[in-house]
Amino acid sequence: MQRLIEGHKRFLADIFPAHRSQFQLLAETQAPEWLFITCSDSRVLPDLFLGTGPGDLFITRNAGNVVPVISNDVDGVTATIEYAVEVLRVKEAILCGHSDCGAIKAFFHPNTLDGMPKASRWLHHIDESFKYRQPLNPAEGESAELASLIRGNVVAQLLNLKAQPSVARAMDAGRLTVHGWYYEILSGHIERYDEEMGRFLPLVD
């Protein structure tokens, strides 16, 4: 806890004063351009690897960067998506998976979910990932099989995202674009899913 307190002290002394006017504007309203859906994993820091700051990204996070399929249930993810699209009118939505994802690892080691019924039920949302597994990349060595399924999960959740009523309406109206990304923690690089080619390509050449 002391580390967090010291960090907050540095924020108050060094960071907040330089951005005071920006924070005053954000205190009254927000107008993010991007909805960013990603995993809860502590190693995934969108503002760090995208160079964004306060007010830029509207972020929702959960285990496995899941977008639940359409149902009558109420959940925080789809509620957040609906709010971002209908109220905040974001222009782009990004579904971002990442390497070494623990949620996907659970498929290979299901015993890790013993005693966690809620986590087990939640991760059934990524069952469809197997349909969209990507080709193995020999360069990824022992991680290749896991990485192919993680990328497949990005595709599966991207389809779920596009099927959300609010997203479908916004896309039909031409005011929203959606993207599927894969973030490689070890290298820092991002891949984007090209729907026409049906494969992942580097975001930056």
Annotate 172-190 with DSSP letters as a single string: HTT--EEEEEEE-TTT--E
The model's pLDDT over 35-58, given as tens digits with 9 standing for 90+, comes to 999 999 999 999 999 999 999 999
- β-sheet bridge partners, residue 59: 36
Helix 165-172 × helix 76-86 angle, to 10°: 30
Structure tokens at 148: 């192919």
Catalytic residues: 39, 41, 43, 98, 101
Question: What's the predicted TM-score (pTM) here?
Answer: 0.92
Q: What is the largest CA-CA distance in the chain?
A: 51
25 in a structural domain: no
In this prediction, residue 70 carries a pLDDT of 67
14 in a structural domain: no
Per-residue pLDDT of the chain (205 residues), as tens digits, is 999 999 999 989 998 998 888 888 888 889 999 999 999 999 999 999 999 999 999 999 999 999 998 666 678 999 999 999 999 999 999 999 999 999 999 877 888 889 999 998 898 899 889 899 999 999 999 999 999 999 999 999 999 999 999 999 999 999 999 999 999 999 999 999 999 999 999 999 8
Structure tokens at 188: 């820092």
* CATH value at residue 66: 3.40.1050.10
Q: What are phi and psi of 162, to 5 degrees?
A: -65, -25
In this prediction, residue 109 carries a pLDDT of 83
In this prediction, residue 24 carries a pLDDT of 85
The order of strands in the sheet holding 190-194 is: 57-62, 34-39, 92-98, 177-183, 190-194, 199-202
Burial of 65: CB neighbours in 10 Å, binned 0-12, 13-18, 19+: buried
146 in a structural domain: yes
Total domains present in the chain:
1
In this prediction, residue 96 carries a pLDDT of 98
CA distance 161 to 176: 12
Where in the sequence is the domain holding 51, given as residue range(s)? 31-202
54 in a structural domain: yes
CA distance 157 to 106: 17
